[in-house]
Amino acid sequence: MVILSNARVLIINPNSNAAVTGAMAKAVAGLSGSTGVDFDTRSLDGAPLGIESDLDAAVVAPLLAQMVRDEDDRYDAFIIGCFLDPGLQACRTVTDKPVFGIGECGVFAALTHADQFGVLALSEASVGRHKPIFRRLGVADRLAGELPLSISVADAVGNEAVYPKLGEAARTLRDTHGAGAVVLGCAGMAGHRSRLQRDTGMVVIDPVQAAAARALGALLPT
């Protein structure tokens, strides 16, 4: 085992919803510990319960930068746990350690599997917010489609009853839009991943897992 001893990654949930933070911790449990890299998760005190608007994203950005600055000595990498990647560039100005956004990591992970990717968004408004982001990333031409689930963050994370909505949207992305892989467009939904992957035969990406795996890669020695 040659990974940096005691390397530590902090995954920050930019909202104050402990259930989302808990779901993130569970999603990356398989990477923590035995690799020599610990993944900690943290909610953002004072943040809204969900990042559901560009205003929410703006409000938490400086708080995230403050937390990264405060924790800079204790961690080797940081992950911003919201699909909108709030404050990502700002956080990078306060540390020399890598800072990853789960939105970017999730989308790029999907593209390592298939030519066209789809996204499951919580709401119609999310779909609109993601368009300029995908254009900025350069991946707009590889987006097969993005469909809104019309569910709340709370439901996405903890309510098994919403699963049929995910299944239906993912199948539409596959059959109508030509998606070859699907990204869960919100943190905390990893609990649906295996089932959705099995039911649709498509690769399903949880963006938190994608970012955690990327962080592990960045911390590899040599």
DSSP string spanning 25-47?
HHHTGGGSSTTSEEEEEEE-TT-
Cβ distance to a second copy smaller for residue 18 or 220? 220
Cβ distance to a second copy smaller for residue 146 or 151? 146
Residues 6+ apart with CB under 8 A from 156: 122, 149, 162, 186, 188, 189
Q: How far is the CB of 209 from a second copy (least distance, A)?
A: 5
Q: How far is the CB of 220 from a second copy (least distance, A)?
A: 5
Q: How far is the CB of 164 from a second copy (least distance, A)?
A: 18
Q: How far is the CB of 215 from a second copy (least distance, A)?
A: 8
- Using alpha carbons, select from 191, 220, 219 the residue that is nearest to residue 206: 191
Cβ distance to a second copy smaller for residue 93 or 150? 93
- Using alpha carbons, select from 88, 80, 75, 65 the residue that is nearest to residue 13: 80
Q: How far is the CB of 140 from a second copy (least distance, A)?
A: 6
- Residue ranges of the alpha helices (H) in 72-146? 88-92, 102-111, 124-137
Q: Rounded distance, CA 130 to CA 128, Å?
A: 5
Q: Rounded distance, CA 204 to CA 196, Å?
A: 7
Cβ distance to a second copy smaller for residue 88 or 153? 88
Cβ distance to a second copy smaller for residue 151 or 210? 210
